[in-house]
Amino acid sequence: METRVLEGEEEEDRNADTPRASGGDEVRIPDTVSIVLSVAEHKEGRDLAWKFLQENWPELSRRYGAGFHMTRLLQGVTGHYCLESQAEEVKIYFQDLASRDENSPKRVFDQCIENIWIQARWCQRDLFNCLA
């Protein structure tokens, strides 16, 4: 496939906001969320995505604040959890964050925890669908 550059358009400008494919370590901010959510969608990646969120919270909080991308990230990482033990773990972690960071998205934390509890109750009723 041939790459065309419009007259007057510099190669550097055209690729300024895209991830570097040749060994660079910069990824656009929205792409970071998409990558983590892609991992979290798979059963094998859920705990990995949760661990990533925990280990990188200061940077993620700095980047996204309490905005749309943070909401999407938190809901996506915790959205597949359906066990009471997971609800408790997430609750404890989010409560700790909320007590240390006054700018944390407390409402989103509460929504994520509530969603896990709802799914846990649903799983108790219909275990097969939860673990599939």
**Domain ranges (residues) in the chain:** 24-131
pLDDT in tens, 58-117: 999 999 999 999 999 999 999 999 999 999 999 999 999 999 988 889 999 999 999 999
Q: What is the pLDDT of residue 56?
A: 95
Q: What is the pLDDT of residue 3?
A: 38
Q: What is the pLDDT of residue 130?
A: 60
d(CA 132, CA 116) in angstroms, rounded, equals 16
d(CA 117, CA 2) in angstroms, rounded, equals 52
- In terms of C-beta density within 10 A (0-12 exposed, 13-18 middle, 19 or more buried), how is residue 93 classed? middle
The overall average pLDDT reported for the chain is 82
d(CA 75, CA 2) in angstroms, rounded, equals 40
Report residue 52 CA to chain centroid gap: 9
Q: What residue type is assigned to position 49 of the chain? A: A
**Cβ of 44: how many Cβ atoms within 10 Å?**
7
Q: What is the pLDDT of residue 101?
A: 84
Higher pLDDT, 2 or 129: 129
φ/ψ of residue 40, rounded to 5 = -65, -20
